Structure 1
């Protein structure tokens, strides 16, 4: 009889843009837990479009982006984002950032209080270092 091994559960987490900035800026009190990490395409665009980025910061961002999966604006994500914006009066970028968490049934890591209050969205704030 073959031995069945329990399947390893891979946690899925979506990072909000502010969470990514805290991570890259060394402001988190502890490392992110092991998981499969995703970001919205809008977070990718926000990160790469800061006018004051120098080469070192751009290299750091590109390295980070190579470690996560970018969720594109497919039909399902668009519909969820539209629904979030209409029902919860979110800003469009926030709705687009949150939609992949619902689409993937993942936890959203964010310090955006408004996103943490959205019913049905599993969110968690990040603990930041004291100044």
Structure 2
């Protein structure tokens, strides 16, 4: 998954949070800040410094990355739901056969249904 690897790399390269947005009500501008506990201002509170290139890359890609990640979560959840639905239609604990019979209780059909739910080809 090349796209996911790219998103992970941007997230790992960015500075750990928490991050904040500072707003200037007079100019209607906002800017990104992050505290540096090791640098204290005159009032003893952490100084907020500008962002790194890695952070600008992370922020710049967020508008495309977040919807892509949400779509991927939806796709994976749909697969999980399809697998659960396929398995729910199968008998539990070999209800169809005596437990001493050498019967596989429809395992091949179950496997095929799960593969189909996952969108895989099966024979």
With the length of structure 2 as denominator, give the TM-score of the two structures: 0.23
Q: Relative contact order (C-alpha < 8 Å, sep 6+): which is higher? A: 1
Point out the structure with the larger strand share.
2
